Each structure stands twice: as C-alpha cells, then as structure tokens.
Amino acid sequence: MFKRMSTDTVNIILLIGAALLVLEVAFFNGGLIFSVIFSGVLLYFGWKNYKKLIWKIVFWIGAVSLFVTVINMMAVRFLIIAVLVLLIRHYYRSKNEPERIEPVFYEDIPESELDPIVKQKFFGDESTPERSYKWRDINVQGGFGDRVVDLSNTVLPQDEAVISIRHFIGDVNIYVPYEVEVSIQHSAIFGRAAIFQFRNRKLMNQVIDYKTPDYAVKKPRVKIITSILSGDLEVKRI
C-alpha cells in the first residue's frame, strides 16, 4: 500500500504533521517540550541504573509519561487518522481490483535461482514474478483487501501442492481446475465459506475441514490452509 503512494502524498502528510506540531508548541501547548525533556531525563537515568528497583520505577514512569505526551499531540493524532484513511481507501480499492495470483510452471530455471511466487507483505499488493518460474508452494500473510489464487494456468507437482494464506480483513478466492483433488482447512472469526457445492455457510469463530472424495488416492492434489479474521472464502472449479 505505502509503496503505491506518490511522493507528493507522503510529503503533504508530513508537512501537515510538521505544521501542526509547530502550531501546537507555539500557540496551544508550550509545555510540550518540557514534558518531552522531563520524560527523556527519567528514561535516561532509569535505564542507566535499571538494575535497582527504584530506577526501574523511574524508567517506566518516564516511558508512560512520554507515551501519553506523544499520543496527545495534534500532529500524532493527525498521522494516525491519515494512516487509517489510507488503509480504508486501500481496502475499498482492493475490493474493486482484487489481487490475482496466477502461478505457472516452467522447466528452464534452476531451482536454486527461484524466488518465492508471492513475496511476504503485510500492506500492499502481492504479485507473481514477471519472469518465468517454477511452481512453489504459496505461504503468505495478508493485511487488508482481497486475494485471488488462480491455478488454471499452472502445472501442479505430482505429489502435493500447498497453499497457505493467513489474512486479516478481506476475501480469499481460490480457483481450482476440475481434475485437481483438494483438501481445505479453513478458520475464520467472522465471514462465510463457499466451497464448491457448499455455499454461503456462515462462520463465527469456526473451523472447516473439507476433502474431495478421491483426495487420498488421486493426483494432482492441492492442500489449502486459510485463516481469516474477517472475510469470506470461496473455492470453486474453473
């Protein structure tokens, strides 16, 4: 998410935050600097003599005092609100344009040179490499937005492919070819699950364990492990 922000957007947010800080110190809260310096002194001497109980107390008094001072600053409140607005905007954008993960299979690249199909990111989009690559198991964590895993353009390994997705808020959609056997372990705090013919099952702090009838005896097969705080899971044939 933050990599997609323009430099102008970042600069505007930082300039507004700096302006609010100057206005607060100059006109509204002149004692702010004294509070920060006082808390810093407590932290410094408390940490320097931290082995003694009395200085441990001094250190934590300074830490709490500094935290309260900072969190009550107008500039910090503005930055928190700005980040929340950006997260909400990114979430709604991802709903309209969900990320698509489309692994493919090529034989011409040595295994040692392969990068992960999807790089680990908490914020922002995750995408497959633009160059050719072999299939590798997917193991990612997500923050906000939708995730789409499309297996229609890949050749799965002959043993078992694994897809593991741990997601915070948003939907996970997985498209599986008809000839592939599937095992699904899904947990969700809030949301719904639609797995093949089992549609729109409401979930509230529940776990679903599903296998196609021939999963143990036929190949290719894929093992799907998903965990969502709030969102829907859809697994369907294509």
Instruction: Please tell me the distance from the alpha carbon of residue 138 to that of residue 172, in angstroms, as a whole number.
Output: 13
**What is residue 109's predicted lDDT score, i.e. its pLDDT?**
46
Q: What is the pLDDT of residues 167-219, one digit of tens each?
A: 888 888 898 888 889 999 999 988 889 998 887 677 888 899 999 999 988 88
pLDDT-derived band of residue 130, with 50, 70 and 90 as boundaries? very low
Domain ranges for the chain: 2-95, 98-237
For the ranges 58-72, 82-96, 167-181, the lowest mean pLDDT is seen at: 82-96
pLDDT at 10 over 50: yes
**What is residue 6's predicted lDDT score, i.e. its pLDDT?**
54
Q: Is the previous residue joined to 220 through a cis bond, with omega within 30 degrees of 0?
A: yes
Which residues does 20 contact at the CB level (< 8 Å), separation at least 6? 73, 74, 75, 78
